[in-house]
């Protein structure tokens, strides 16, 4: 994939590292000559020090060949301008960080996929790691929805019951859906069905329409 990454801050640098390791053809644009030099010295990729809000700079980065453009700066005005240019230049896939949630619709109207308020997402991850240590993975979705994984123990009211029975008895709240089940002694996971019987040690992938309280997590785990 030919990918243009705008912004070489902490998020941009992490993305560059992943994209390069995955053998993508990466071009980086950053307004800071010093950061551009650091990236150029670290990776064997094309790095431009310039103004990404200029269509000429995006063209110089290879817009006509690009499969995707990702904008990672901390300035929504800059990000929106770059997204607008990328859309005008018909870059197929456009992704942008949106630092202020209320700006997200402006980006979506231009056809961009957005990552809203990354600092809040990180903060939520840290909070959950402290408050809910038994939650193995956590993803915050738009409008407060969540996807998370947890392992149930022998005290869980879910152990030994089907998913449908657990829902009927109120052990699984209506706002939560079980998506997948991974057995403790197996490498694969299966799609959760209503008649799936849960067991001690099962690792469940769950989706919730709203934030799940610490109390609910504790009850599910047992």
Positive or negative: CA dihedral 81, 84, 88, 89: positive
Distance from C-alpha of 173 to C-alpha of 212, rounded to nearest angstrom: 10
For residue 16, what are the β-bridge partners? none
Q: How far apart are CA 104 and CA 130, in angstroms?
A: 29
Homologous superfamily of 2-115: NAD(P)-binding Rossmann-like Domain (3.40.50.720)
Q: Residue 6: exposed, middle, or buried by beta-carbon count in 10 A (0-12, 13-18, 19+)?
A: buried
In CATH, 121-221 is 3.30.70.1450: yes
Q: What is the pLDDT of residues 120-172, one digit of tens each?
A: 666 666 666 666 666 665 666 656 677 888 888 888 899 998 999 999 999 99
Give span(s): CATH 3.40.50.720, the chain: 2-115
For residue 217, count other CB atoms closer than 10 A to its CB.
18
Angle at 71 between CA 146 and CA 87, to 5 degrees: 105
Note the pLDDT of residue 163.
92
Q: pLDDT-derived band of residue 118, with 50, 70 and 90 as boundaries?
A: low
Residue 104 pLDDT:
86
Which part of the chain has CATH 3.30.70.1450? 121-221
pLDDT digits (tens, 9 = 90+) for 57-98: 999 999 999 999 999 998 999 999 999 999 999 999 999 988
């Amino acid at each position: 994939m030919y990918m243009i990454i705008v912004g070489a801050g902490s998020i941009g640098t992490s993305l560059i590292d992943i994209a390069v390791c995955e053998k993508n053809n990466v071009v980086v644009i950053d307004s800071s000559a010093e950061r551009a030099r650091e990236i150029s010295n670290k990776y064997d990729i094309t790095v431009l020090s310039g103004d990404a809000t200029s269509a000429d700079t995006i063209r110089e980065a290879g817009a006509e060949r690009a499969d995707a453009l990702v904008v990672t700066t901390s300035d929504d005005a800059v990000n929106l301008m770059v997204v607008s240019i990328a859309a005008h230049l018909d870059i197929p896939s456009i992704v942008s960080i949106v630092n202020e949630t209320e700006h997200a619709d402006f980006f979506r109207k231009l056809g961009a996929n957005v990552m809203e308020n990354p600092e809040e997402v990180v903060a939520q991850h840290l909070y959950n790691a402290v408050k809910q240590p038994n939650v193995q993975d956590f993803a915050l979705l738009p409008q407060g929805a969540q996807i998370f994984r947890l392992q149930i123990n022998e005290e869980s009211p879910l152990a030994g019951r089907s998913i449908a029975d657990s829902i009927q008895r109120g052990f699984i709240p209506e706002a939560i859906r079980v998506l997948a089940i991974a057995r403790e002694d197996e490498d694969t996971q299966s799609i959760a069905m209503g008649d799936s019987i849960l067991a001690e040690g099962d690792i469940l992938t769950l989706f919730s329409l709203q934030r799940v309280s610490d109390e609910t997590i504790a009850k599910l785990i047992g």
